[in-house]
Amino acid sequence: MIEIPSFQNIEDAALKGAISIRDVVKIYDPKGLAVMAVDHCSLEISPGEICMIVGPSGCGKTTLLKAIAGFHEISSGEILLDNKFLCGPGQLKAKPGPDRVVVFQNGALFPWKTNIENVIFGPIMQGTMSRPIALEKARQMMADSGLIGVEDSYPGEISSGMRRRVEIVRALMNEPSVLLLDEPYRALDSLTKSVMHEALLQIYYKNKTTIFFITHDIDEAIFLGHKVVVMTTRPCKPKKILEVDIPHPRDYSVLTSRRYRELIEETIDSVHEEAEKAFAAGEKEG
């Protein structure tokens, strides 16, 4: 276990990673049908905040994440990172950069490279670190993340939970402003997922990087997040924003607290209503 630093609030702990999503619209045009995926969405995420995004499948959550990452363009509105323009009028697609790193649910480790070679691949290829410096930093970060002893193994030789941890360490090697997570633990069993939640918090307390985290798991959202944003069914926009007023650092003892259960119930009510709308829309469309 790493030593968890104490700090009064997230604003004191992090100096970068503020995301401003301002009146963003995204319209796909498959065969001229003009499908609106994101509808005038506005959201402010503070530096160093863990912002959990929940909502029905297909509502547009991943579309929003990909717009922040610079994987596709928006139709209107603007997105800023630390008050610097990413995309909007005049440039509808953000330029991908090392300040925003994505970890998807399917994983992307190179199976023919060792775990530590996977971790150092980005900085070496980008020329931001020499190999000796990258190796030293990677070994320290892997040790901090409970990955001692697997550095020279291959991804196929370690558990799925450890592979997820290697991916997150790799994503943090260049100290990005924002870590974008798209349901990274969806395929894990509940026991492995609970271990991964605490492991992610350990990594977070060490790095304090802003996290934009998409999930369908309400317990996951409340346990990890400083803020939980419930999105509407497609087209996506915030329906409800809950500030999770359970102090950090956290461990699994919070699961038995009254406030945790209250927040779960409040979130379930909002998500269930949108899920019913999505189901009804699917019946009509099908």
Q: Which region, left, alpha or beta, applies to residue 56 given φ > 0 means left and ψ of -120 to 50 means alpha? A: beta
Q: pLDDT digits over 103-156, tens only?
A: 887 778 999 999 999 999 989 988 889 999 999 999 999 998 889 999 999 999
pLDDT exceeds 60 at position 284: no
- Please give the DSSP secondary-structure letter assigned to residue 145: T
d(CA 214, CA 248): 20
Distance in angstroms (rounded) separating the CA atoms of residues 38 and 185 = 24
pLDDT of 30 reads: 62
Q: Which two tokens stand for residue 237?
A: 């926009």
Residues 6+ apart with CB under 8 A from 205: 2, 4, 5, 248, 249
Best CA proximity match to 200, nearest among 232, 169, 222: 169
Find where tokens 């800023």 sit: 80
pLDDT at 133: 95
Alpha-helical (H) ranges within the chain are 10-13, 61-69, 115-126, 131-144, 160-172, 190-207, 218-224, 258-285
101 close to 112: Cβ distance less than 8 angstroms: no
Average pLDDT over residues 165-170: 91
41-63: average pLDDT: 92
DSSP label at residue 256: G
**Residue 55 in contact with residue 70, Cβ under 8 Å?**
no
What's the mean pLDDT in 200-229?
Answer: 93
Calpha distance 177→84 (Å, rounded): 12
CA-nearest of 241, 195, 268 to 49 is 241
How far is the CA of 245 from the CAs of 48, 60, 249, in angstroms? 16, 27, 12
219-274 tens-digit pLDDT? 999 999 999 999 998 888 999 999 999 999 998 889 999 999 999 999 998 888 77
**What is the pLDDT, as a whole number, of residue 54?**
94
- Do the Cβ atoms of 230 and 277 come closer than 8 Å? no
Domains of the chain plus CATH, in order, are 15-99+177-285 (3.40.50.300), 110-175 (no CATH)
So what's the pLDDT on residue 132?
94
> What per-residue confidence (pLDDT) applies to 126?
85
Count of positions (residues) in the chain: 286
- What mean pLDDT is predicted for residues 62-89? 95
Look at 6-10, 52-56, 88-92, 235-239 and tell me which has the smallest mean pLDDT: 6-10
